[in-house]
Structure 1
Amino acid sequence: MNGSVAYILMGFPRVSETFIASEILRVERAGVPLRLYVIKPVEEREQGHDHPVLDAIAAAPEYLPDPKGLTKPLHLWRYADVREFLPALGRCIRRRPHGVARAARTAVAQAFRDRRTPTSGPRKIYIKELVQAITLADRLHPDVRHLHAHFAHGTTTITWLAACITGLPFSFTGHARDIYAPELNPKGWLRRKLNAARFVVTCTEANVRHLRAIAPKARVHLVYHGLSADFTNLLRETNGHGVHSNGRLRILGVGRLVAKKGFDVLVDACAVLEQRGIAFDALIVGQDDKDGDALRAKIAQLGSPVRLPGPLGPADLLTEYRRAGALCMPCRLLPSDRDGIPNVLVEAMAAGAPVVATNVSGIPELVEHEVNGLLVEPDDPHALADALVRLHDDAELTRRITANGRETVKARFDGDRLAQELADLFREVL
């Protein structure tokens, strides 16, 4: 194969983005040479990995200079803030003056286009991303022939500008909030990225329709995430089935503590179950985040037995899936944020947990009501409680949707096969 693909990541590795690490490993194993470039240090809350997939990735990540000094207003930038970026700027201007000028025109035009008011100065964020793009372009290994970014906002901006400088083609993967929140790509910025990219990848058919409506001529490809490499290996190495022997309904939620996951609705549904006298245990496993305090306050206010044990590694999470009487994902659509297909739904179905979810975004592309799971309307704790009781009371329904869930993952969400589809797209440009 002629050359390598450079993966551009905002932070790596992140606890909440293990699906990206899984993708990288599988694309490597599909025969595509990769190089990894990381834009900024990983946040403290995203650290603490216990995922074997990271040790198996061959490409060593290269970290760009920490951009924290560039977060100040533009007129407050000092030599100390930009010192680490200046050598790259000098080299790029000497080696690729036309490319730097092309990237600068693109960034500065958007910086003025996106001004707060007609009399405001240019938006600093685009200048910051231009500086980072110049550094990235300077760092790229000579064998890199294509650039690929994950998430359609800042990472893709930096990648696109680096492509302008180097003349290399680029692509990106759009996920959820990064393609739906207007403030992340204002003033037609997402449409320009879609049209500039060689191709675009996204993880649900709903996202494909959304992106094609923005840029009808863009090459947008559907590639589901698939079951992660860690979970695939664990399932191959272990045997086990759900255990529900004590007569109590065991409810499991998995995900970051953010509003779009709808875990507050799960807490309310548990209150409904208590009112009905249903014996249950409930826990929500996942990384604390911006809505964690509100969720804890609701649990305390209701005196709810719902527990928040924090994040778990893959092996412990698999154990919880197998113990669960229901994996519950009451996701909702927010004005500027939503899930696509939560990866935990794929994991739970593969592990043999019956799933209850909401019929929003890409979830119905995975979960078919009363076939391989149960679907309810979002923000309806009574409907959610009813679905949980159905699973608890109807053993035949639970057995059927659990078996069908496993088959769905095998047939349509095989991570190795889906990574091969992505690898084929990279081979076209290499």
Structure 2
Amino acid sequence: MKIAFLTTDNREQFSDYDNPVPHFGTAPQALLDGFAKFPNEVEIHVISCTRRKMDTPEALAPNIRFHQLLVPHLGWGRTGFAGCGLAVRRLLCKLKPDVVHAQGTERDCAVSMMFAPCGPRLLTIHGHMARIAEIIDARPFSYYWLVKKLEAMAVRRADGVVAITNYTQGRLRDNARRTWVVPNAVDASFFEVNATGQGDLVICVASLSPWKRQMELIDAFDALPEEIRPQLVLLGVGEESGYGAEVVERLATRPWCSHPGAVNRQELKNWLRKAGLLILPSTEDNCPMVILEAMAAGVPVAASNIGGIPDLIEHGVTGLMFDPQDAKSIQGAVTRWQENPDETAAMAARAKQVAGQRFHPEVIARRHLEIYREALAQSGI
């Protein structure tokens, strides 16, 4: 079975052109790691577009080939990624894959899927652009307004959508031809992290944005008694203006809270080793990778009871959930973690076991192979 796997090479997204090693989003990379375990069952062709030519290996694994397509600047956002779509189409005509599978709707991958001359054409939804556009009240023709339109078009054109949570499936049920619910895979190396659990350290891993609600989290911690208030570390990209700047400004008078900035995968593992709790107060989230990573590492998790998060953790069994709009609910989760260390340690141990059963790359890759076969059978190919 030959699969065309359309994804973003993050060297292009972050202008990291001198890096000789391709790197993809954490979820697509973990899925590719899983596919590498089945060399006799699947041949993967990873396809990524770039504005500048970079050093690129021909193979990422014995059964995974990599194709880098050079697309002029005009073929990107200003033309709705039409140049990327045409370049991918030309390659697909040569490869003749059995299935075309695009990862995400934020950039060019969804457009390239729509240009595909062969099928079945599948799409995985990672972040809900329509929901984010609603939250920030995106202006007409702004970035999120445009990707909202793109997302709706791609869902309608796809032969099937891989919904990584029941939340996604519910949002797409009326527009998608067919859906499957399969969670993201987690990088297997996170299972090797030995969390020691520093009792007074809470980490929040997310870009500084209105729907991640770091300011509201700081306010909730403000109201905790000073003698029991834990250290809070915000890890993630923060813009120099707007919401990110407001969050950083609040930290100036709060020595118990800090923002070291964005972290790479190894740095995140180091933070997880010493964290006592991962907290995520989002009002919009689908399948946040950091929850899966914390579960795999054995770190207790407290997160919002919204979006796809209830698919990932069971309250009181593998983690704690709270209402992100209610400061007392957030405080209650933190207090329960502080006052019941044996209970939360048991939750973290169960969560690690569940993560191995549900989110390991081999488990998720195997399920994708089943989906590809189902899609081929349905198409009659």
TM-score, scaled to structure 1: 0.71
Selected match of 1:408 from 354, 357, 369: 354
Superposed counterparts of 1:60-75, under 5 Å: 60-68=66-74
Selected match of 1:205 from 166, 174, 177: 166
- 1:398 corresponds to: 344
CA 1:160–1:250 in 2, change beyond 3 Å: closer, same or farther? closer
> Per the alignment, in what secondary structure is the counterpart of residue 221 of structure 1?
strand
CA 1:284–1:171 in 2, change beyond 3 Å: closer, same or farther? same
Selected match of 1:148 from 101, 109, 114: 101
- 1:30 corresponds to: 38
Q: 1:399 offset after TM fit, Å?
A: 2.4
Superposed counterparts of 1:104-123, under 5 Å: none
- 1:379 corresponds to: 325
CA 1:66–1:27 in 2, change beyond 3 Å: closer, same or farther? farther
> Per the alignment, in what secondary structure is the counterpart of residue 59 of structure 1?
strand
Selected match of 2:291 from 326, 345, 358: 345
Letter in 1 for 2:169: V
> Per the alignment, in what secondary structure is the counterpart of residue 129 of structure 2?
helix
- 2:366 corresponds to: 420
Q: Matched residues in 1 for 2:148 and 2:207: separation?
A: 26
Letter in 2 for 1:286: G
Contact 2:36 2:61 in 1 (8 A): no
Selected match of 2:233 from 283, 294, 299: 283
Q: 1:179 offset after TM fit, Å?
A: 5.2
- 1:5 corresponds to: 3
Contact 1:8 1:39 in 2 (8 A): no
Contact 1:263 1:330 in 2 (8 A): yes
Letter in 1 for 2:219: D
Contact 1:37 1:64 in 2 (8 A): no
Q: 1:356 offset after TM fit, Å?
A: 0.8
Contact 2:200 2:230 in 1 (8 A): yes
Larger displacement relative to structure 2 (17-26 or 62-71): 62-71
- 1:19 corresponds to: 27
Q: Matched residues in 2 for 1:271 and 1:259: separation?
A: 19
Letter in 2 for 1:206: Y
Q: Matched residues in 2 for 1:241 and 1:161: separation?
A: 43
Structure 2 residue 271 is the aligned partner of structure 1 residue 265 = no
Q: Summarize deviations over 1:1-26 as a string: whole Å, max 9, x none.
A: 4xx32222244356882221221232
> Per the alignment, in what secondary structure is the counterpart of residue 257 of structure 1?
coil
Q: 1:377 offset after TM fit, Å?
A: 0.5
Aligned identity (percent) is 23
- 1:175 corresponds to: 126
Contact 1:286 1:311 in 2 (8 A): yes
Contact 1:202 1:221 in 2 (8 A): yes
Q: Matched residues in 1 for 2:61 and 2:263: separation?
A: 20
Q: Matched residues in 2 for 1:293 and 1:207: separation?
A: 31
TM-score, scaled to structure 2: 0.79
> Per the alignment, in what secondary structure is the counterpart of residue 353 of structure 1?
coil
- 2:301 corresponds to: 355
Q: 1:169 offset after TM fit, Å?
A: 3.3
Contact 1:231 1:314 in 2 (8 A): no
Letter in 2 for 1:65: V
- Count of residues in Structure 1 that have an aligned counterpart in Structure 2: 343
- Larger helix share, 1 or 2: 1
> Per the alignment, in what secondary structure is the counterpart of residue 39 of structure 1?
strand
Selected match of 1:320 from 268, 271, 293: 271
In structure 2, list runs of 5 or more residues that go unmatched. 14-22, 53-58, 135-144
Q: CA RMSD in A?
A: 3.0
Q: Matched residues in 1 for 2:60 and 2:91: separation?
A: 24
Q: Summarize deviations over 1:98-128 as a string: whole Å, max 9, x none.
A: xxxxxxxxxxxxxxxxxxxxxxxxxxx4xx4
